[in-house]
Amino acid sequence: MRSPVRTARPLAAVLALAGLLVLLVAPAERAAAATAPASSCALAGTTGWTDEGHFTDRAQFQQPLGTKRVLTLFVDFADAPADGPTATYGTQLAPAADWMWKASYGRTWLAVTPLNRWLRMPQQSASYGFQRGISFEQHEVYVRDAVAAAEPYADFTQYDMVWIVPPKSASAISFTPTYVYDPTTAGVTADGTRIKWAVTFGQDMWYWGPRIADHETGHTFGLPDLYAFTGTEQHTYVGGWDVMGKVGGPAPQYVGWEGWKLGWIDDTQVACLPGPGWTNVDLNAVEYVGGTKIAVIRTSATTAYVAESRRAAYADPNPCSTGVLIYKVDTSVQTGYGPIRVVNGNPTATPPTGCTPLDMAAHRPGQSFTDWTARVQISVRSGGAYGDSIQISSW
């Protein structure tokens, strides 16, 4: 993962979605004043690729706001022919659009158009080199071949990105990497248009379900992987608290820091403490529209602690714990090596079936977290149905 279908919304659908947004707003929304402008807590990325830096190169990575026009291509191979209708595969991925709509507070919509025909690839499936560590060049060949096969049947000038889906019989196409173009090369073109972003699905789409499309599309927006590339525990950094970590996790809503990075959370919804001091913050849970979403304590040029409220709602229907999620952001850390690390507020809790110890991390009223080295403290003062009241301090 490193790196029903709709094409347009008639007026009735737009009005229905506006109604959904009204439902998403918490009835008891509470405001909080930051001690400094949010920009004082924005951290620059330093890795030169996908990271948690607030400022993303929008020439290389896709703008995450508005409607993203997605063309889905279905490809098969001489050694792995199609084994059923394309509709089966399109249906598997279709819920990803609605999930992202909720996670983005209605600010991003994936308008997915399937090219409902199987396209025969020129090489056998096993020859494309799909494995962990597939090179950029190998991956680009795969994207180029799929686009070339589709060009007689589609107008690529009408789309922002491409999803490429193989049949279940193509076991050699095992996992799902994301293609992000290299602007210094000739790359892949069709109809005079540069193909900049593509998700090439593998057989793991049947394991992870439709949210794998939200994870991979997140990479085209500039988000890093939050699971571990090394070690025995793949989800040691964030557990199931973010779809960029464990795709099938119990609380997959993008963390608030990423929502801010993507433009789904406004500067006015960020409480910022850039230096010594303290303030009380009323957090409206990140699952709901409106209110203060994150409290940020900046600790260096590339690090900060972030607190946000999490509830069982909308994009997070089944979290293992609810309350205040606290995590450390380090924008100097590369994708896959822990640019976000969740602080477990309940390390001795026994997780129920389907949950891991880190999934129990949310802090409850009366609990505090202190990093004495960074001189940071976050205390949960009270909680309600739609959010939490906290105190943040730095000295």
| Structural contact between residues 325 and 314, judged by C-beta atoms closer than 8 angstroms | no
Distances (CA, A) of 234 to 101, 175, 202, 273, 341: 28, 16, 19, 32, 13
**Domain total of the chain:** 2
| Structural contact between residues 64 and 108, judged by C-beta atoms closer than 8 angstroms | yes
Same domain as 209, residue 78:
yes
Instruction: Report yes or no on 337 lying in a domain.
Output: yes
Of 162, 185, 220, which marks where a domain is finished?
220
Of 220, 245, 278, which marks where a domain is finished?
220
Instruction: Report yes or no on 185 lying in a domain.
Output: yes
pLDDT at 388: 98
Instruction: Report yes or no on 288 lying in a domain.
Output: yes
Give the three-state DSSP class for 149.
helix
Tokens of 130: 């799909």
150 Cβ neighbours under 8 A, 6+ residues apart: 71, 73, 115, 119, 156, 190
202 Cβ neighbours under 8 A, 6+ residues apart: 130, 166, 173, 174, 175, 176, 177
Q: Domain of residue 256: give its range.
A: 31-56+236-394
pLDDT at 133: 78
Same domain as 72, residue 51:
no
Same domain as 315, residue 210:
no
Instruction: Report yes or no on 4 lying in a domain.
Output: no
Q: What is the model's pTM?
A: 0.91
Instruction: Report yes or no on 372 lying in a domain.
Output: yes
Instruction: Report yes or no on 333 lying in a domain.
Output: yes
Burial of residue 228 (CB within 10 Å: 0-12, 13-18, 19+) is middle
pLDDT at 9: 38
Same domain as 348, residue 252:
yes
Same domain as 384, residue 292:
yes
Instruction: Report yes or no on 11 lying in a domain.
Output: no
125 Cβ neighbours under 8 A, 6+ residues apart: 77, 79, 80, 166, 170, 171, 172, 173
State how far the Cα of 189 lies from the Cα of 210, in Å rounded to an integer: 27
pLDDT at 68: 98
Residue 210, Cβ neighbours under 10 Å: how many?
A: 18
Q: Angle CA(369)–CA(361)–CA(36) in degrees, nearest 5? A: 50
Same domain as 176, residue 273:
no
Same domain as 276, residue 295:
yes
10 Cβ neighbours under 8 A, 6+ residues apart: none
pLDDT at 321: 98
Same domain as 78, residue 37:
no
Same domain as 240, residue 204:
no
Same domain as 76, residue 38:
no
Q: Angle CA(171)–CA(174)–CA(176) in degrees, nearest 5? A: 140
| Structural contact between residues 326 and 343, judged by C-beta atoms closer than 8 angstroms | yes
Same domain as 148, residue 121:
yes
pLDDT at 1: 54
| Structural contact between residues 175 and 130, judged by C-beta atoms closer than 8 angstroms | yes
State how far the Cα of 54 lies from the Cα of 40, in Å rounded to an integer: 11
Same domain as 327, residue 291:
yes
pLDDT at 132: 76
Secondary structure, 3-state, 301-367:
CCEEEEEEEECCECCECCCCCCEEEEEEEECCCCCCCCCEEEECCCCCCCCCCCCCHHHHCCECCCC
State how far the Cα of 392 lies from the Cα of 369, in Å rounded to an integer: 10
334-361 burial, b for 16+ CB within 10 Å, e for fewer? bbbbbbbbbbbbbeeeebeeebbebbbb
Q: From the first residue on, what is the mean pLDDT of each consecutive set of 10 residues in the chain (395 residues)?
A: 39 40 41 71 96 95 98 98 96 98 98 98 95 90 98 98 98 96 96 98 97 98 97 96 98 98 98 97 98 98 98 96 98 98 97 97 98 98 98 97
**Residue whose entry in the numeric block shows the structure tokens 């190169």:** 57
Tokens of 247: 């795709």
Kindly give the pairing relationship between strand 277-284 and strand 323-330: unpaired
Instruction: Report yes or no on 21 lying in a domain.
Output: no
